[in-house]
Amino acid sequence: MSAKTDSFVAGLMASRGNEQTCRARLEAAQRRAQECEPWLKAFVYRPDAYETGGAAAKPLAGVPIGVKDLMATKDMPTTYGSPIYAGFRPTEDAWIVDRIKAFGGVVFGKTVTTEFAWREPGPTVNPWNRLHTPGGSSSGSAAAVGAGIVPLAIGTQTVGSVIRPAAFCGVVGYKPSHGKVPSVGVHPLAPSLDHIGFFARTVEGAAVCHALFVDANPDAIADLNAWSEYFTVRRPSKMGVVRTPFWERVSDEQKANFEATLARLQASGATLVELDPFDSMPSMLDALQTILQVEAARAVGPAAAEHPDLISQHMRALTTAGAAVPAEKYAAALELQARMRNEYEAWIDGCDAIVTVPATGPAPEGLADTGDATFCAPWSLLGVPAVTVPSGRSQSGLPLGFQVLGRQGDDLQTLQTAAWIETVLG
């Protein structure tokens, strides 16, 4: 494993049992936040002081972590990105927040989310160019890692809300298989599609999140030997390339970056095969939209009806559409989702992973829209593991990404493949 991918776990090992090192790490994050937050606006709330006593003896050793403001925190406000919940404080932590604390991590603050994780943007800007969107809905989490404030952050993805902003902000995004991370205490948007995911500076950082929050295996980071046995870079023997029938939406820069990345992987020993599941894609996106509308109407509709003056046009349109969907159309969408999960296993058969783009290109200019999620949507419907790694820059200096997909439940292998891609790309 390269020095780059060694750095996160090696840093944890250096901090283990050392309260002074943990405090220094937290103070560095505070200084960076003070520098960036006046213009970045990644956090909706940060506490004035942090408690780190005893954290150094635990697996995360006082690591500061950004937590999306869709997740309940009993000691910090939780607004779900909506004025309806201004100042709201839950009585219990979300499962993921409880686990962060149990493993010695420090909730550095609540990161900005779009309204109930849908399209109404918050104030966060892209850390590489403040005139561009950071993506959404996990805007603040992606930007906070991209700006170097925190090494890890938690987000959610219903359509493209981890993978796309990670690509836009030049960081690693990891969406585990659907249901692998409990969503207790996380405000739902569409439970059949909602995933909890992670942002990190390297694939190794995302893999640490996998070890702790997916595998529940803190022994994997007990020391460097345990980690090297648990997480190894895995060169795939064969990868399937998927361009989808929406390839005309991809910018020339993203296409050129994708082809150059494929060439580098092939030169490093990977066999690439073109896959053509094009006929299924439009119906998959239609099914996702139906499920999203119906389940959002159930999850957010009551609040929207009670506070019509505090709901955005985006959310009003979504919940209104969902309330009008016939029951048989929703049932058919769920049936197609189940069927396509089986078909996906046939698509990927013989391949270690599938690769595609994470977005249409670099982050769009302007803050009114968070970008096109088309190239994340099919994989959110299927609930398969997805990782995006930085793969270069646009001519204007904005990050570009490369998306890696695995089999349902084969999350660790997908991360190992992504780590190999990361080493090839440097």
Q: What pLDDT sits at residue 2?
A: 39
Q: What pLDDT sits at residue 279?
A: 87
Cβ atoms of residues 274 and 262 within 8 Å: no
Helices and strands in the chain, H and E counts = 14, 11
Q: What percentage of the chain has pLDDT greater than the value 70?
A: 99
Q: What is the DSSP letter of 393?
A: E
pLDDT above 60 (res 250): yes
How many residues in total does the chain contain? 426
**Model confidence pLDDT, tens digit, residues 205-240:** 999 999 999 999 999 999 999 999 999 999 999 999
CATH topology of domain 3-235: Amidase signature (AS) enzymes (3.90.1300)
Q: Where are the domains of the chain?
A: 3-235
In angstroms, rounded to a whole number, what is the distance separating the alpha carbons of residues 89 and 252? Answer: 46
The mean per-residue pLDDT over the stretch 283-288 comes to: 97
Q: Which amino acid is at 36?
A: C
In angstroms, rounded to a whole number, what is the distance separating the alpha carbons of residues 312 and 149? Answer: 30
Termini Cα distance of the chain: 12
Strand ordering across the sheet containing 43-45: 43-45, 106-111, 64-68, 152-157, 195-200, 172-175, 386-393, 399-405, 353-356, 238-241, 271-274
pLDDT above 80 (res 3): no
Q: What is the DSSP letter of 196?
A: E
Q: Which amino acid is at 380?
A: S
**Model confidence pLDDT, tens digit, residues 133-159:** 999 999 999 999 999 999 999 999 999
Global pTM exceeds 0.95: yes
**Model confidence pLDDT, tens digit, residues 57-92:** 999 999 999 999 999 999 999 999 999 999 999 999
**Helix residue ranges per DSSP H, 213-280:** 224-230, 252-267
pLDDT above 80 (res 5): no
Cβ atoms of residues 392 and 278 within 8 Å: no
The mean per-residue pLDDT over the stretch 125-138 comes to: 98
**Model confidence pLDDT, tens digit, residues 185-207:** 999 999 999 999 999 999 999 99
Reported as a pLDDT band with limits 50, 70 and 90, residue 4 is very low
In angstroms, rounded to a whole number, what is the distance separating the alpha carbons of residues 109 and 94? Answer: 14
Q: What pLDDT sits at residue 35?
A: 98
Q: What pLDDT sits at residue 251?
A: 98
Cβ atoms of residues 324 and 294 within 8 Å: no
In angstroms, rounded to a whole number, what is the distance separating the alpha carbons of residues 262 and 272? Answer: 8
| Catalytic center residues | 68, 137, 161
Q: Which two tokens stand for residue 391?
A: 């793969």
Q: What is the DSSP letter of 155?
A: E
Reported as a pLDDT band with limits 50, 70 and 90, residue 103 is very high
Q: What percentage of the chain has pLDDT greater than the value 90?
A: 96
Cβ atoms of residues 391 and 424 within 8 Å: no
Which of the two residues, 52 and 161, has the higher pLDDT score?
161
Cβ atoms of residues 43 and 37 within 8 Å: yes
Reported as a pLDDT band with limits 50, 70 and 90, residue 277 is confident
Q: Average per-residue pLDDT in the chain? A: 96
Q: What is the DSSP letter of 293?
A: H
